[in-house]
Structure 1
């Protein structure tokens, strides 16, 4: 078998390649033809949908699959290599069966080459599920689905010290220091302010300046529980199923998976996933919902008060994702709009929850 995304063009995969794959993983099928079409507008990777025409189709044979491969953008390739994105996503699917396939699409094929930093993931196609829209925001019902999945993810490896054995997983004892220091992240804020100065209001700049100035201390001062976290837990990385779907939600894009603070995922999602107008109406109820699901999953040592304290602390995290990603990945019109929207929403989240007082 050749290695799509590594030594071959995934758009040129043949029926024979998939027949070899299906035989290897125990799928009863013979592919006689297929079509491959690029889909989505990924900032870090490129996605392809494969549609199969079968000479013989067993009951476990998929009608379609989706592949994820390296970006065609040199800037995004360089960022992915610097930050370890491609290896991390492949290893996530290989390493964490308590969550991979349960709250994610199932993985049929994974490959990664250390020397070239090229990868391939071929996964369950979640269509007709619909991708969340970071700009539009989500409903309360969709937010509850996301937070229930967060509880599954976090509870599965809550305070699990075995996470520290993985040197590819961010934040572990075995992992190298972050590719970007807090000072370098703060420097990205300076560049972001300059690039988007005509689109930033003074109240947003004030929060961003305070956070950037506090970043070195903020990054190290927090103490609290740890778990396996997504670290880019937002609507664009969620696929919402139709009513009655076997998976009501599937989480994708695990390049940033980490050993980290569970409240970080929660604050990041609520802060950017709901609009500025809707978040304050539902914020506390959604936090309660997540906390209840976490308790049901067996985590009983984390009080709601502690969760809210951590939520306030991590309300700033989404700002660094927004301005950092804007300066590091391929610039697009939608990307600009998305990162600016996220930044504004997180600045408001920090203000509304008096989080600026934590930076003093």
Structure 2
């Protein structure tokens, strides 16, 4: 059966189209929108098939056609993750039943398992050490199987950060920091403003630092992109548009630094890094000791304000979004000071 390709809107997800995509008979379909849909649009599908009712999540391009050309690289990355990477790693993520990407990368379709009744994490509320432990072990299941795997460098849609990339980041990040500081004003403490500006000064050497170890980096591994089942075990990671290559521990520092209250993070981070490291070794990572991992975790803490400031600069402003970015900045900047991260750059 030939692939039915992509559709530009949920109206294209007809019973006939879905039947071709899933290689089964579909006699009826219903859909409802889920999520906010800033980068892509998600719909919960109810299908009637000969084997009984079936529920899937369909992920499509953003509703605004003008946004699609800009978002094309992100669409290509997510589709490529499910095609090329997901089968080779152990991270828990929804099973993909169908994927398609247009030649110009402006439209795509992913048909994924519906993870309900799992519930989305809350970036504003933060998470408990127990939930954090499950999340970091799942993160190691992304990093460990392809740790320093040279074949990743052969994938045309993934690449390591270059000196030219670092120069470009240096040019855009400092102005973004000043915009961020101006936007939030007195809501940012003087220590936070000072730390942000110091991060901006050092971000170029940081982003190319410690490059001898590399691997897959989710890039936005945070609570809003994690689904937690009601039984409390088996967190599921979603939203793979920002996958890249870099030091994998950046994901770990970003998750703990932005997702936990600073006091709780400081009290529990040694144990959480140890749980992550133990899981890494279980996936075959060798010659990487726990203390070296913790030192890399300290170094990687810059990932928190970097992603937070850039996300705020390029995202669509919302009330919850502003509250989230401010909270993430405060938490991650406290982490940088607690760990004396900037002295390592």
Is the TM-score greater than 0.5?
A: yes
Counterpart check, 1:36 vs 2:28: no
* 1:14 maps to 2:14: yes
* Residue 202 (1) aligns with residue 190 (2): yes
Cα shift at 1:349:
0.6
Cα distance change of structure 1 residues 184 and 244 upon mapping to structure 2, 3 Å threshold: closer
Equivalent residues of 2:140, 2:276 under 8 A apart: yes
What residue number does 2:224 align with?
A: 236
Residue 255 of structure 1 pairs with residue 241 of structure 2: yes
- Specify the alignment match of 1:191 in structure 2: 179
Once residues 341 and 75 of structure 1 are traced to their aligned partners in structure 2, the CA distance between those partners, rounded to angstroms, is: 31
Mapping of residues 112-127 of structure 1, within 5 Å: 112-115=101-104, 117-127=106-116
Give the CA deviation at 1:263: 1.0
Q: Equivalents in 2 of 1:329, 1:2: separation in Å? A: 32
Deviating more after overlay: 210-219 vs 91-100: 91-100
CA 244–133 in structure 1, closer or farther in 2 if over 3 Å, else same? closer
Q: CA deviation at 1:22?
A: 2.2
Give the corresponding residue for 2:140.
Answer: 151
* Secondary structure of the corresponding residue to residue 262 of structure 2: coil
Once the two structures are TM-superposed, the CA of residue 250 in structure 1 deviates from its matched residue by 1.4
Is contact 1:48–1:68 with CA below 8 Å preserved after alignment? yes
CA RMSD of aligned residues (A): 2.4
Alignment partners' CA distance in 2, 1:208 and 1:172: 22
> Is the contact made by 1:79 and 1:329 (CA closer than 8 Å) also made in structure 2?
no
Give CA-to-partner distance per residue, 1:14-50, whole Å, 9 cap, x none: 1111122222xxx5xx322221111012432111110
Aligned with 1:216 (options 204, 210, 217): 204
Distance 1:221 1:100 in 2: 25
**Measured at CA, do residues 273 and 11 of structure 1 come closer, stay the same or move farther in structure 2, by a change above 3 Å?**
farther
CA distance in 1, matches of 2:138, 2:242: 17
Structure in which a larger fraction of residues adopt helix: 2
- Count of residue correspondences: 342
**CA offset at residue 358 of structure 1?**
2.5
Task: State the partner residue of 2:318.
Answer: 332
Tell me the secondary structure at the aligned position of residue 301 of structure 2.
helix
2:67 and 2:258 map into 1 onto residues whose CA distance is: 23
Distance 2:166 2:198 in 1: 22
Q: 1:179 to 1:239 in 2, by over 3 A?
A: farther
Question: Once the 2 structures are TM-superposed, how far is the Cα of residue 92 of structure 1 from its aligned partner?
Answer: 0.9
TM-score, with structure 1 as normaliser: 0.88
Structure 1 residue 11 displacement after superposition: 4.0
Alignment correspondent of 2:61: 70
Counterpart in the other structure of 2:78: 89
Q: Which residue does the alignment assign to 2:71?
A: 80
Structure 1 gaps, min length 5: none
